[in-house]
Structure 1
Amino acid sequence: MGGRIAVTPRSLSGAGHPALARLVERGFEIVYPAPGRTPSEDDLIRTVPGCVGWLAGVEPISNRVLDAATGLRVISRNGTGVDNLDVAAAETRGIAVERAVGANARGVAELAIALLLAGFRHIPWSHDHLKKGDWQRRIGREVRGRTLAVIGCGAIGRDVVDMALGLGMEVIGYDPYPGHSFARPGFRFAPLAEALRLADAVSLHCPPAGRPILDAGAIATLRPGVVVVNTARAELIDEGAMLEGLDSGRVQALATDVFVAEPPPPSALLSHERVILMPHAGGLTDESVERATRVAVDNLLKVLAQ
């Protein structure tokens, strides 16, 4: 073995990680295109040529980058999603694409539940006012007995289901490929329209499709006062329709950890007082980073040993 391996996730490129030592022990040289930040296309085109492996994050990987990646044999994601690159285009160029399936599921699921509770109890709003010396209170709602729609029931969604059931919620799941072996008291699968119509809260855990799941039509069917949590992809929500939903009171709160551009530019939606923001940190826990890095390194070594 031997050659260069690019490492681009911000959680690894700034401070490194002990699991990367395994690559060095196997004779590989680690390079960081943009230490501590998301690399630009120019950063990648400058660094990736000549690399045999790439431990990649969520940064966009364009066809220009793939064209420049001469000698690259494998892209190993430190997460599950691969919508930041064209997998078929990579494979056509002889580049294998590997994913760390389920490695960050617990971290993302816990954040989704935290955001859910923050939306029901107005935690960020209360915090902001009290920090300014403004003693105000908003009446909240308890989640026990309320219905949560979990859209996408893969590893993350299923963890969210279990946690929500533990809080005493009723949970309806929607998945285009439901796992019928996944059964819990208080949980059932349903068509998307039914899940949204019955939900007091919605948590999104699926990849983007051709159109937003929560567009104006879907938002109009939600129960008044619904809390929406998005730790999946920003494209799942129509921003204009969501802003209208918040202004009308149809949506009590939107809590999101994902954005079309990161960092996002200012917008009317993001500055709304009932929008709760996190900087794409769902998988940014000690435990999730450890699991995802270990799996991503395993996948690199598996492919490069062939």
Structure 2
Amino acid sequence: MRRILITPRSLSQGGHPALRSLETAGFELVMPAPGAIPDEATLIAALPGCVGWLAGVEPVSERVIDAADRLRVISRNGTGVDNLPLDVLEARGIELRRAVGTNARGVAELALTLTLAGLRQIVWTHEGMRRGAWPRRLGREIADARVGVIGLGAIGATFAQLCLDLGARVVGYDPFANADRIVHPNFSRTGLDEAIGGVDAISLHAPLPEDGRPLLTAERIAGLTRGCVVVNTARAGLVDADAMLAALERGQVGTYATDVFEAEPPEAEPLFAHPRVVLTSHIGGFTDASVERSTVRAVENLLEALAVHAH
């Protein structure tokens, strides 16, 4: 029987109705790390004999692909592919498909939640009250606030529209998005530095630069509006962590909220212990509706690709 590897944490315990169509089509489902991110050794052991792979965010090395003796297609249940060795896949002729846009609403809503939490210091206030204090810090309403959006793909554009609907003035940066990506009297396209400087909040929705350097460098962080809220639901490497910690310490940044980490779960580090840092455990696309849309699309992509390869 032809085998398909299932590794997204939201699916690898089985039971999702969309997976049944793979079994109905005659595939055996392989789930080597139920509810967890599989490590390299687990992937190497599980991949031989698999013709398809419904993949999550797990890091995939060249050694892993070397073990994939029959693999024809990798179908991501999301859009990010930073975890995959794209040049190796291309050299091997392994097709890559993505569930583009399916988790945009879930991630955008989390980014908005974190932005609002930062503008109103919700977590800082909550923690103070838990300690028996009565903390009160003047907050900022999002209406008429200036929000910078870095990346205007499906997620960034959805987040920008949510902010516009709440009365914010939004500036967006994306060198690739169509000029008419967002049309609104309170929206304008700018360069990167203009989208970062002079704003009350920044939300990151971009891939990593090809050179691997952060978009929010120490220099750019130093130029932020004092008290700025920075939200990162995209990639941990977009932010210089040491510079961010220093900016929080001196009050340059009011809140740093992140849903993404270099390792999951993350190693303890000083930035994460700062009282004005808000942490969520990569839950941006982890909603019932987003998981459903992503899974259905990823399964459809797998079946379509494998049907093409069968001919």
- What do residues 194-228 of structure 1 show as CA deviations (whole Å, max 9, x unaligned)? 11112111000000112101111101111111000
Taking the aligned partners of 2:304 and 2:39, their CA distance within structure 1 comes to: 28
Give runs of aligned pairs for residues 84-233 of structure 1, distance below 5 A: 84-182=83-181, 183-209=183-209, 210=211, 211-233=213-235
Structure 2 gaps, min length 5: none
Taking the aligned partners of 1:99 and 1:29, their CA distance within structure 2 comes to: 21
- What do residues 39-96 of structure 1 show as CA deviations (whole Å, max 9, x unaligned)? 0000100101110000000000100000001100000000001010112211211210
Taking the aligned partners of 2:225 and 2:291, their CA distance within structure 1 comes to: 36
Matched residue type, 1:187: F
Taking the aligned partners of 1:133 and 1:22, their CA distance within structure 2 comes to: 54
TM-score (norm. length: structure 1) = 0.98
Alignment counterpart, residue 302 of structure 2, candidates 282, 300, 306: 300
- Give the match for residue 238 of structure 1: 240
User: Does 2:67 correspond to 1:65?
Assistant: no
CA contact (8 A) 1:125 1:273 kept: yes
Alignment counterpart, residue 248 of structure 1, candidates 236, 247, 250: 250
User: Does 2:290 correspond to 1:288?
Assistant: yes
Matched residue type, 2:18: A
CA contact (8 A) 1:178 1:189 kept: no
Taking the aligned partners of 1:250 and 1:239, their CA distance within structure 2 comes to: 14
**Other structure's SS at 2:87 match:** helix
The worse-fitting range, judged by mean Cα deviation, of 130-139 and 240-249 is 130-139
Taking the aligned partners of 1:272 and 1:116, their CA distance within structure 2 comes to: 17
Taking the aligned partners of 1:276 and 1:130, their CA distance within structure 2 comes to: 16
Taking the aligned partners of 1:35 and 1:147, their CA distance within structure 2 comes to: 43
State the identity as a percent. Answer: 56
Matched residue type, 1:116: T
Taking the aligned partners of 2:145 and 2:132, their CA distance within structure 1 comes to: 33
- What do residues 161-217 of structure 1 show as CA deviations (whole Å, max 9, x unaligned)? 110001111000000113112222210100101111121110000001121011111
**Taking structure 1 as reference, are residues 48 and 240 closer, same or farther at Cα in structure 2, changes over 3 Å only?**
same
CA contact (8 A) 1:147 1:170 kept: yes
Matched residue type, 1:197: G
- Give the match for residue 20 of structure 2: 21
Taking the aligned partners of 1:148 and 1:179, their CA distance within structure 2 comes to: 20
Taking the aligned partners of 2:285 and 2:204, their CA distance within structure 1 comes to: 15
Taking the aligned partners of 2:14 and 2:300, their CA distance within structure 1 comes to: 20
Taking the aligned partners of 1:15 and 1:24, their CA distance within structure 2 comes to: 12
**Other structure's SS at 2:278 match:** strand
Taking the aligned partners of 2:249 and 2:264, their CA distance within structure 1 comes to: 25
**Other structure's SS at 1:139 match:** coil
Give runs of aligned pairs for residues 31-50 of structure 1, distance below 5 A: 31-50=30-49
CA contact (8 A) 1:14 1:37 kept: no
Matched residue type, 2:150: I
The worse-fitting range, judged by mean Cα deviation, of 101-110 and 89-98 is 89-98
**Other structure's SS at 2:99 match:** coil
Q: Aligned pair count? A: 305
Taking the aligned partners of 2:15 and 2:116, their CA distance within structure 1 comes to: 33
**Other structure's SS at 2:271 match:** coil
Q: CA RMSD in A?
A: 1.0
**Cα shift at 1:33:** 1.7
- What do residues 245-270 of structure 1 show as CA deviations (whole Å, max 9, x unaligned)? 10111100000000011100111000
Matched residue type, 2:173: Y
The worse-fitting range, judged by mean Cα deviation, of 173-182 and 130-139 is 130-139
Matched residue type, 1:236: L
